[in-house]
């Protein structure tokens, strides 16, 4: 049987900030949100082979072959000039991997790993690959104790989660904003599915962490924090809430000129959440 393939922008062999323990992280290419504050803007689009990136690639790692962009990682110097040149926030360096390819990588790094996390982009856009990868990991004796996590914006439908959750050990869910108008302005999409996804994954016992990005003048308002508190109370039970602080590094467009989230405001919000009895509140591990 031919297992699904996935377009993957980048693979981190080890990470201690993308779920519990030391994890391999797969950044899948493509996203259904267009967040102005995205720190991985080159993972949003899918390459359309326009060729604009080729002239920007000084080491000639990118060429056009039969109308398609061809990437030679052996020549690439990771200067990222191609990402700057791309008009649709895509990465011409994304590579197609099969489930078998990822299993080989996991075996190679197995001694150092406690799990694998699929991120992005939005990994659930390639949910068939994610489902089959997680199934294969759990079925392989040498890998079966690795935990399989999804870092998601939640814009997956209910049936999609029903297909994924049986083979998923944990979900880290990003809520971009609670006010529907603000969420649409920030991402280009409604937040209805994201809120439903958080409820569904929590009810299934798979919501490892609820993540909320504090953006100055937008999601750090008293109204948004009150919404966050009410939403978490409604979920019930023990919760892990991670507050992330916006900073312009890695962003594009107007966001690259925006101010960072002040430390003091993040700490004040964390204190509000703790005072509301929400349990574990995690602050950013690195301030930039």
The CATH number linked to 63 is: 3.30.70.20
Give the pLDDT confidence score for residue 144 in this predicted structure. Answer: 96
Residues 104 and 82 in one domain: no
Give the pLDDT confidence score for residue 288 in this predicted structure. Answer: 43
Q: Residue 2: is its pLDDT beyond 80?
A: no
Strand order in the sheet with 5-15: 95-98, 5-15, 23-28, 115-119, 147-152, 170-175, 207-214, 240-245, 280-282
Identify the domain containing residue 54 by its residue range.
Answer: 48-93
For the chain, the average pLDDT equals: 94
Q: CA 47, CA 94: separation in Å to the nearest integer?
A: 9
Residues 240 and 161 in one domain: yes
40 to each of 217, 243, 246, how far by Cα in Å?
A: 21, 18, 13
Mark which of 64, 93, 122 sits at the end of a domain. Answer: 93
Residues 87 and 206 in one domain: no
Q: Residue 285: is its pLDDT beyond 70?
A: no
Residues 116 and 197 in one domain: yes
Residues 146 and 26 in one domain: yes
Mark which of 75, 93, 111 sits at the end of a domain. Answer: 93
Residues 132 and 57 in one domain: no
Residues 59 and 70 in one domain: yes
Residues 55 and 26 in one domain: no
Residues 89 and 134 in one domain: no
- Domain CATH number, residue 224: 3.20.20.70
- What average pLDDT does range 41-59 have in this prediction? 94
Residues 57 and 153 in one domain: no
Residues of 97-112 as b/e, b for ≥16 C-beta within 10 angstroms? bbbebbbebbeeeeee
Smallest CA-to-CA distance from 124 within 191, 189, 172, 186 is with 172
Q: Tell whether 58 is covered by a domain.
A: yes
Q: Tell whether 288 is covered by a domain.
A: no
Q: Tell whether 287 is covered by a domain.
A: no
Give the pLDDT confidence score for residue 3 in this predicted structure. Answer: 59
- What average pLDDT does range 83-89 have in this prediction? 91
Residues of 155-168 as b/e, b for ≥16 C-beta within 10 angstroms? bbeeebbebbbebb
Smallest CA-to-CA distance from 23 within 108, 101, 113 is with 113
3-state secondary structure of 75: coil
Q: Tell whether 192 is covered by a domain.
A: yes
Give the pLDDT confidence score for residue 252 in this predicted structure. Answer: 83
Residues 158 and 219 in one domain: yes
- Higher-confidence residue of 238 and 84: namely 84
Q: Tell whether 18 is covered by a domain.
A: yes
Q: Residue 286: is its pLDDT beyond 60?
A: no
Cβ atoms of 155 and 162 closer than 8 Å = no
Q: Tell whether 209 is covered by a domain.
A: yes
Q: Tell whether 195 is covered by a domain.
A: yes
Q: CA 278, CA 226: separation in Å to the nearest integer?
A: 12
Cβ atoms of 222 and 252 closer than 8 Å = no
Q: Tell whether 180 is covered by a domain.
A: yes
Q: What is the domain count for the chain?
A: 2
Residues 72 and 126 in one domain: no
């Amino acid at each position: 049987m031919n297992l699904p393939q996935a377009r993957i922008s980048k693979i981190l062999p080890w990470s201690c900030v993308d779920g519990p323990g030391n994890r391999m992280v797969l950044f899948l290419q493509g996203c259904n949100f267009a967040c102005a504050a995205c720190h991985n803007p080159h993972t949003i689009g899918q390459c359309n082979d326009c060729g604009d990136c080729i002239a920007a690639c000084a080491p000639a790692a990118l060429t056009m072959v039969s109308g398609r962009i061809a990437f030679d990682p052996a020549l690439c110097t990771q200067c990222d000039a191609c990402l700057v040149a791309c008009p649709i926030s895509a990465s011409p360096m994304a590579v197609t991997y099969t489930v078998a390819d990822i299993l080989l990588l996991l075996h190679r790094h197995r001694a150092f790993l406690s799990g694998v996390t699929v991120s992005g982009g939005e990994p659930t856009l390639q949910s068939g690959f994610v489902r089959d990868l997680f199934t294969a990991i759990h079925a392989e004796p040498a890998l079966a104790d690795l935990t399989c996590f999804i870092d998601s914006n939640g814009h997956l439908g209910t049936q999609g989660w029903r297909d994924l959750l049986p083979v998923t050990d944990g979900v880290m869910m990003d809520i971009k904003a609670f006010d529907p108008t603000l969420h649409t302005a920030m991402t280009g999409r409604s937040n209805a599915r994201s809120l439903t996804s958080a409820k569904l994954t929590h009810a299934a016992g798979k919501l490892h962490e609820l993540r909320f990005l504090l953006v100055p003048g937008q999601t750090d308002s008293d109204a948004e924090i009150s919404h966050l508190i009410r939403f978490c109370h409604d979920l019930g039970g023990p919760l892990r809430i991670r507050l992330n602080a916006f900073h312009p590094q890695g962003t594009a467009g107007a966001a690259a000129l925006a101010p960072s989230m002040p430390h003091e405001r993040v700490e004040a919000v964390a204190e509000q959440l703790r005072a509301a009895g929400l349990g574990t509140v995690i602050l950013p591990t690195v301030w930039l």
